[in-house]
Structure 1
């Protein structure tokens, strides 16, 4: 039997620890439903803090937003059948589709969206994504308790019209609205415990939750009130460890999985295929600037920046772990699916004598123990291990590597208990928001990086698109010159699909488009 062998690492998310028993898989196999395997089933569909794209797949299956982002990064209509943007780029008018309704058959009206955004902006929600909506007039003041929601420029002049007014021209606003977080929901009190309350929830998307067969198997069925027609009548989502999911995939019991295990991954070519797509999440080294004699020293950061080339020359991390070289791209790469950068063999560009002279200039003691920290997900750990080899073997540095859970890692950064950290940055739709993280007084500036010229540029109020683009280019130039952080790798998404599935569509946010999935190429 032919086999396809690929050494691949896929992120095992920190909050995922569930594992399905063998009998659950066997029970599932009695049915012919399309089966999607996750590491753990989400229990909270408010998802104010959950940034794992696979958990968000469930939001996309159960709820629709105003607009969507297709695989070509183009905006498409969702529950809004059309939209209009004013000439100054500030006012957005959405016209809802005719005849759209909740799964309860109640009509979806524009005021539902007004109430939805109110819930997202409410400070009590502790929504980690809320700053994305600060571009809406009055949103930040309401979220911070300075004004009431009546002062927020989100209105429903009639049942089919929603208007949103922004503070200034924000071209990426529609892309923000395509994210899973902005799929229309209500019953937030019920969504926080979906296993208990799924029958009482109104769904706006292609599917509804039909049952929790047990704590590890969730069954979806077609939403008969949905405006479009999903191709599959039923979809089963099963919680399973990566190793067991792969075994079930190879035996034909799982049709779709993303969480491939950390080891040599063998996928049966007669059963299915492995596929890849870039997702643009960035793994970057950040420095503790308060360590003046070490990371606060420009020469030290420069030596680390030069040393990263050893990493690229010695390891092909794309074939090993689906990681794409950062190559100094300071503000997220535009990665094309057909032009992936793999090992670039840059060793000839590394000047070790120059690196040693920089150490000499700063009177650096190579016996000093350097604390390198990261989250304890598999990809971060792999990168840190490879970095440790390079730092030790090529520079003779002493490295004390430490791994932490996501919450503990954030505490370590806040407390400054590190020298160097491998941080994960999600690809932002708003680069200006990302760049503001590096201003002196920003709470997310855990490096304590400080540059007065940088702060003046980033904090300047920009009025139009040209000014904003100029601000982004100028600020990136300063960050690059200062080596505020070092992009080490960009991530890519790998997944396995059964040959029973004709094709799988991922949207521009790399979420599964469930309504287009169907098994054996047969439409109901």
Structure 2
């Protein structure tokens, strides 16, 4: 990594001079005492997070709290605070048995009523959010959210101190997949969670760790939760999380042994870090795609134009030359590592070529109405270096192959959302993220009534297939509905997948037991520092 040596020295000099990593210098000495130092970029504003869709910020929810069930490192649903559960034959009623040794971090027992109270406040706090929308499958939730009926009508009931019953509106064989997501982990939703940076000592935790110190915008110290039901299998007594805002600074600290774990290094360094054994690649589920403006008649009425643009995309070049193999190409809308609900993987088919097809693109463009009345296209993206490089590459390909002039414009998050809302674009580069590990989580993002479908895509046949798949009890038939839905979505050529994100974890050789969830969050219960 010779090309980076001078830069490392410069970054370290700047950081030491400014005192920004004074605590981290002390941390380097602490490494010999045996705890992990994990560096990350973002620190969540609150620990309720019902209106925060940045999955990367859920790393605290994963490690500080736990839900009824969880997903293990193999992607299987396993017991958590619920030691067992039963589903009715038609899978519309789930009964959970709470562990006798399940306790809050103050030693008090966790009861079924605690979950009832959690969901009641969660639905109120998250009114209008995607997280509540995903639990509309529970009887009464939608009416409660809309203020039509009170919470007594919601079918989440404590049958006794240790038995929780949840009844659903329809058969939902993926219900446990939803509940396994960190956002549904048990916590007392109150002002302490909102002001957790100042009130962390007063919060009641249910997971592997508790927060024992927070240094403003610098570090978060976690210690083992002594009342966690499975504390004997939590390997580390302490985890220190440091906060850096620049990837290059994280890499500099890693090379200087000030930290020993961090994720997503600079793309230019990824290949060498993986080759040297300093980094491991984990497949993620967040998709990156182009969307053609469904509200633009010139675009929506000209499928030949959309086909021609799609055929100009060289996914192989984007993945290998622009993003240095830090991502993987998406040849379908739903990634290949998604559960089919039967301990297998959902498989449909490949829709796209990994390389561009310039001859086909030129032929389709000649057949397009747009070719007779060419104008400049506005291509927008969320302002970030990797997005800019990808969009500039696509724009150049469209110019070279089709003679199209594409104006690329990057926007900050709120401005980008405003441009989408107003329809001030022809093409946009977007991300799409599932709420849980199941094909439906991807497909329901594009139904006409979905809160996430802010773009205006609408296809009644698609809505019908997704709706039927959602309620179908037979797994094979359900998967067929999902395949049909994906076929329709791709056939309309409004959403064009480019690549799926991976999580690149950089770690020192002495760090053992690292694993991540489907959202890319590191889970620390089995992690330890080998002396």
Task: Name the TM-score, length of structure 1 as normaliser.
Answer: 0.87
Q: What corresponds to 1:255 in structure 2?
A: 260
1:303, distance to aligned residue in structure 2 (A)? 0.9
1:437, distance to aligned residue in structure 2 (A)? 4.2
Which of residues 136, 150, 163 in structure 2 aligns to 1:134? 136
Q: Secondary structure at the match of 1:401?
A: strand
Residues 228-259 of structure 1: CA deviation (Å, up to 9, x unaligned)? 12211111111113212111111212111013
Q: What corresponds to 1:422 in structure 2?
A: 429
Q: What corresponds to 1:23 in structure 2?
A: 22
Residues 491 and 335 of structure 1: CA distance in aligned 2, closer, same or farther (over 3 Å) = farther
Contact 1:271–1:498 under 8 Å retained in 2: no
Residues 513 and 279 of structure 1: CA distance in aligned 2, closer, same or farther (over 3 Å) = same
**Mean alpha-carbon deviation: is it higher for 403-412 or for 504-513?**
504-513
**Mean alpha-carbon deviation: is it higher for 123-132 or for 135-144?**
123-132
1:366, distance to aligned residue in structure 2 (A)? 7.5
Contact 1:314–1:345 under 8 Å retained in 2: no
Contact 1:66–1:79 under 8 Å retained in 2: yes
Contact 1:41–1:238 under 8 Å retained in 2: no
Residues 482 and 357 of structure 1: CA distance in aligned 2, closer, same or farther (over 3 Å) = closer
1:473, distance to aligned residue in structure 2 (A)? 2.8
**Mean alpha-carbon deviation: is it higher for 155-164 or for 270-279?**
270-279
2:242 is the counterpart of 1:235:
no
Contact 1:284–1:488 under 8 Å retained in 2: yes
1:203, distance to aligned residue in structure 2 (A)? 0.7
Q: What corresponds to 2:333 in structure 1?
A: 330
1:326, distance to aligned residue in structure 2 (A)? 1.5
2:301 is the counterpart of 1:293:
no
In the aligned structure 2, how far is the partner of 1:135 from the partner of 1:506? 28
Residues 478-503 of structure 1: CA deviation (Å, up to 9, x unaligned)? 22222121111111111101112123
In the aligned structure 2, how far is the partner of 1:214 from the partner of 1:291? 46
Matches within 5 A, 1:97-108: 97-108=99-110
Which of residues 464, 467, 471 in structure 1 aligns to 2:481? 471
Q: What corresponds to 1:278 in structure 2?
A: 283
In the aligned structure 1, how far is the partner of 2:469 from the partner of 2:229? 42
Q: What corresponds to 1:503 in structure 2?
A: 513
Q: What corresponds to 2:98 in structure 1?
A: 96
Residues 37 and 271 of structure 1: CA distance in aligned 2, closer, same or farther (over 3 Å) = farther
1:392, distance to aligned residue in structure 2 (A)? 2.0
In the aligned structure 1, how far is the partner of 2:153 from the partner of 2:27? 51
Residues 124 and 442 of structure 1: CA distance in aligned 2, closer, same or farther (over 3 Å) = closer
**Mean alpha-carbon deviation: is it higher for 192-201 or for 499-508?**
499-508
Residues 67 and 27 of structure 1: CA distance in aligned 2, closer, same or farther (over 3 Å) = same
In the aligned structure 2, how far is the partner of 1:433 from the partner of 1:266? 31
Which of residues 391, 400, 415 in structure 2 aligns to 1:393? 400
Contact 1:374–1:404 under 8 Å retained in 2: yes
Residues 398-446 of structure 1: CA deviation (Å, up to 9, x unaligned)? 1111112223222211111110111110034354464344344555434
Residues 143 and 133 of structure 1: CA distance in aligned 2, closer, same or farther (over 3 Å) = same
Q: What corresponds to 1:320 in structure 2?
A: 324
1:118, distance to aligned residue in structure 2 (A)? 0.9
In the aligned structure 1, how far is the partner of 2:446 from the partner of 2:42? 34
In the aligned structure 2, how far is the partner of 1:314 from the partner of 1:506? 25
Residues 290 and 402 of structure 1: CA distance in aligned 2, closer, same or farther (over 3 Å) = same
Greater helix proportion: 2
Residues 432 and 146 of structure 1: CA distance in aligned 2, closer, same or farther (over 3 Å) = farther
Contact 2:305–2:370 under 8 Å retained in 1: no
| CA RMSD of superposed structures (Å) | 3.1
In the aligned structure 2, how far is the partner of 1:404 from the partner of 1:225? 46
1:89, distance to aligned residue in structure 2 (A)? 0.7
In the aligned structure 2, how far is the partner of 1:291 from the partner of 1:270? 46
Structure with the bigger RCO (C-alpha within 8 Å, sep 6+) is 1
Contact 2:248–2:266 under 8 Å retained in 1: yes
The gaps in structure 2 that reach 5 residues or longer are 5-17, 340-351
Residues 171-221 of structure 1: CA deviation (Å, up to 9, x unaligned)? 211111111101110042110111111111101111111112443111111
In the aligned structure 2, how far is the partner of 1:60 from the partner of 1:290? 39
2:170 is the counterpart of 1:163:
no
Which of residues 453, 457, 476 in structure 2 aligns to 1:445? 453
Contact 2:309–2:361 under 8 Å retained in 1: no
Contact 1:62–1:205 under 8 Å retained in 2: yes
Residues 318 and 494 of structure 1: CA distance in aligned 2, closer, same or farther (over 3 Å) = farther
Contact 2:67–2:80 under 8 Å retained in 1: yes
In the aligned structure 2, how far is the partner of 1:379 from the partner of 1:451? 32
Contact 1:123–1:143 under 8 Å retained in 2: no
Q: What corresponds to 2:7 in structure 1?
A: none
Contact 2:120–2:151 under 8 Å retained in 1: yes
Contact 1:287–1:447 under 8 Å retained in 2: no
Matches within 5 A, 1:114-263: 114-122=116-124, 127-229=129-231, 230-240=234-244, 241-263=246-268
Contact 1:59–1:183 under 8 Å retained in 2: yes
In the aligned structure 2, how far is the partner of 1:351 from the partner of 1:31? 57
In the aligned structure 1, how far is the partner of 2:135 from the partner of 2:514? 31
Residues 59 and 4 of structure 1: CA distance in aligned 2, closer, same or farther (over 3 Å) = farther
Contact 1:4–1:269 under 8 Å retained in 2: no
Residues 21-67 of structure 1: CA deviation (Å, up to 9, x unaligned)? 13232233242331010113223111112333332111111111111
**Mean alpha-carbon deviation: is it higher for 428-437 or for 484-493?**
428-437
2:383 is the counterpart of 1:370:
no
Q: What corresponds to 1:52 in structure 2?
A: 54
1:379, distance to aligned residue in structure 2 (A)? 3.7
In the aligned structure 2, how far is the partner of 1:428 from the partner of 1:317? 30
